[in-house]
Structure 1
Amino acid sequence: MTIIPYLPFLGAAIGVAVLLWGIHWFLLGRHPDLGNDRKFPRQILMLGLGIFALLALILALPVSESARGQLIGLIGLLISGFIAFSSSNILANLMAGILLRITKPFRIGDFIRAGDHFGRVSERGLFDTEIQSECRELIALPNIWLINNPVTTIRSSGVVVSVSLSLGFDVHHSRIEPLLVKAAEESGLEEPFVHITEIGNFAVTYRVSGFLVDIKRYITARSNLCRGVLDVLHGHDIEILSPNFVHQRRFENAEKFIPAAFQPEAEEKTVNVEDLVFDKAEQAERVDQEKQKLTKDIEHLKLALKEADEDGKAHIKENIEEKRNLLKSLEQTEEASGEDNAESSGFASC
């Protein structure tokens, strides 16, 4: 058996290998500063090109049609076996993870609500998305579940904070509405407004809302609004009663259930709740922002490198290398943080 008939095929195989290597260098090799999010679509593209090149080489083999068909069938059998032996949920979550990276309904650090879960996104993986809840718990949500269920994302430009309450019919709404607006303003919200959402059998339901610019203080702002509503209404001798309480009370009883004013002796220490419960999400968002900034800086320096003189090129190259080292350090910190959170249990859940 002579090797001469296979020489064109061997040359084609070497050419395809060199071409794939060149594409890999062009997409990934010459960009060591790319983050994981930007590497992922290029890696998927390289995988697809590799499979396509393998099939093209099989079709180019100098063998009979039956042997070629058997080889293609064997590859199809291997791929089918891989899919069959791997869980369908794994493949579904992988495809859902790719779709989430394409559509980008949220990013690291965003507040999201999915089903009964609410928290800040602390990590985005290929198979699941991790959020940090108000109780500082880390919750892993399968990507396929996020695709099949509505996901509410709080916009980074601001959010409307609201609280609802029921008041009796004995107080006119024209008196209530200015007080609720005042409570929202004193709690630090902008452009407050009040809606009457329901007229029930025993009470009127009001909803006071205001705009919060700093979404990282969402939980504190919601608590401050509730506190402000209590202080303002009780300070103006207005009772906040539940429908059941109003229904069961004797109407001839003139006693009012308003708590007495209390002045603390010393100023209480203020704790930033969000910094405590969303520590991982906060760190992940900060690292992600720094990585994006470093990547953009490196791209700008590369453009400046082409137009700089010999003296300036040396300085620019040093800056590029320094920023690349910082980028690698951030990625290592991110990986180490993920391992530490996986090994430690953190605070108790609420």
Structure 2
Amino acid sequence: MQSAVTQYRHDRSTKKIVWAIVFAVLSTIALISFLVLLQRFISRFLIKIKAARQADALDLRIQNFQLLGSDATGYLLSGIVKILRLLLILVSFYLYTPFVLSQFPATRAIGRSIFNNIAYRINQLVTAFVQSLPNLAIVAIIAFLTYYIVQFAKLIITELGQDNAYPWFYAEWIQPTNRLATILIVAIACIVAAPYLPGFNSPAFQSISLFLGALFTLGSSSAIANAIAGVILIYTRAFRIGDIIRIEDTTGEVIEKSLFVTRILTFKKEVITIPNSSVLNSNVINFNAISREANTYLLLHTTITLGYELPWRKVHEVLIQAAKATSGILSEPGPFVLQTGLNDFNVSYELNAYSDHPQLMPKIYSQLHQNIQDYCNQAGIEILSPAYSSIRDGNHSTIPSNYLPVDYTPPTFQIHTQNNQP
């Protein structure tokens, strides 16, 4: 009892309290200095990582295979540095708090309990990690084998699509097939490695798995439909990036062909995003496929209706001349005219012309229509509707005045008597 009383008085003496305050102040100053220096060092390090990322100096490669790009590597390094900073801050507070509390008799027990509790948790963590090392080694082996299986699959797929070695496997299938094969192999590897992960049989892991499965099943039906449609579109070879296509009322250039959507840049410079399921269920008109696959050209066509009084040979000649004068129309093979209908009041003439510039279709059609008007006017051919021609008697010609003779005058109305005399 005397020893305990002596120790109690010694711990609470003025000298001991003063030294405790001094140690607490010094440790606080040391903690603040450490945190300030740590923040400065980390900030400078993050600035260097950002500069290296902007200079594309952080590419992570294994031989000629690029694992991560500069942006991804910079983002990963920044995250690691920030996590390391957080760990150092926690460790510093872990050392500082028990030390300060142990300096004063009233808080010494609390400080020791905190220290012992944290030490116990760390010991449990280290023990669990050591016990999990065999399983983690198996996971590492699975990851190692998966990497080389993926590389072997890519090599085989690349060889299938090179130099037309196999006519049934097209070169444009190489990249998407590589991606699908990689996803399939990695998924199988994850299924095999999952039982060896720490906590695989725990209720928390099972609950999370059930939740994610239900969420994926209930909320991704449309996404799965679009993904499946995207895969089907790849292997149907309906279109490529850069092709001019028409889907329902949308016509334009394909600028993106992803797993879920197809993006089209229209001639009005509008970007339209169409889900792949809608594309698969629609008729896709490809204006570039014929030149790529059959080594021929796109056939543009437009229809004009003219009266029966005009000689059809003259109409053919005028329309062909208008087509040849249009920019973007090929002279060989030459344009031609089809008479597609003998209507009640007129004849339908369809002008057909070849072009190798599908991306210029709006301009070609506009100039072609202008030339048809000009050449018909020069040839004295009026483009009239049946309703107008039925009251043609006495009306001014619809041909522009600069194409008419100088002495042109509108015809007079013709009136006939019962004896058919004017």
Higher RCO (C-alpha under 8 Å, 6+ residues apart): 1
Aligned-pair distance for 1:104? 2.4
CA 1:109–1:53: 2 relative to 1, 3 Å:
closer
Aligned-pair distance for 1:151? 0.4
TM-score, L = length of structure 2: 0.51
Residue 330 (structure 2) pairs with residue 189 (structure 1):
yes
Aligned-pair distance for 1:224? 2.0
Residue 360 (structure 2) pairs with residue 217 (structure 1):
yes
2: CA distance between counterparts of 1:214 and 1:53?
48
CA 1:173–1:104: 2 relative to 1, 3 Å:
same
> Larger Cα Rg: Structure 1 or Structure 2?
2
Residue 313 (structure 2) pairs with residue 180 (structure 1):
no
1: CA distance between counterparts of 2:231 and 2:223?
12
Q: Kindly report which structure 2 residues correspond to 1:129-140, keeping only aligned pairs within 5 A, or say none.
A: 129-140=262-273
Query: What is the aligned counterpart of 1:232 among 375, 379, 391?
Result: 375
CA deviations on 1:202-238 (whole Å, 9 max, x unpaired) are: 2211111111123333222222211121111110111
Q: Kindly report which structure 2 residues correspond to 1:60-209, keeping only aligned pairs within 5 A, or say none.
A: 78-86=212-220, 88-155=221-288, 157=291, 158-187=297-326, 188-190=329-331, 191-209=334-352
1: CA distance between counterparts of 2:392 and 2:384?
13
Residue matched to 2:161: none
1: CA distance between counterparts of 2:251 and 2:402?
34
CA 1:186–1:74: 2 relative to 1, 3 Å:
same
Aligned-pair distance for 1:11? 5.9
> Which residue identity is paired with 1:203?
N
Residue matched to 1:244: 387
Aligned-pair distance for 1:103? 2.3
Kept after mapping to 1: 8 A contact 2:139/2:196: no
Aligned-pair distance for 1:198? 1.7
1: CA distance between counterparts of 2:308 and 2:370?
23
Which consecutive residues of structure 2, in runs of 5 or more, have no partner in the other structure? 1-130, 159-171, 292-296, 404-422
CA deviations on 1:229-278 (whole Å, 9 max, x unpaired) are: 111111011100123333xx42433632111238xxxxxxxxxxxxxxxx
Kept after mapping to 1: 8 A contact 2:253/2:359: no
Q: How many residues align?
A: 249
Aligned-pair distance for 1:195? 0.9
> Which residue identity is paired with 1:241?
L
Q: Kindly report which structure 2 residues correspond to 1:6-17, keeping only aligned pairs within 5 A, or say none.
A: 12-17=138-143
Residue matched to 2:397: 256
Kept after mapping to 2: 8 A contact 1:193/1:208: yes
> Which residue identity is paired with 1:83?
T
Aligned-pair distance for 1:57? 4.7
Partner of 1:139, secondary structure, is: strand
> Which residue identity is paired with 2:388?
F
Kept after mapping to 1: 8 A contact 2:319/2:337: yes
Partner of 1:50, secondary structure, is: helix
Percent identity for Structure 1 against Structure 2: 27
2: CA distance between counterparts of 1:124 and 1:56?
32
Which consecutive residues of structure 1, in runs of 5 or more, have no partner in the other structure? 62-66, 263-350
C-alpha RMSD of matched pairs (Å): 3.8
Residue matched to 2:181: 45
CA deviations on 1:124-171 (whole Å, 9 max, x unpaired) are: 222211112121111111111110000000126221111111111221
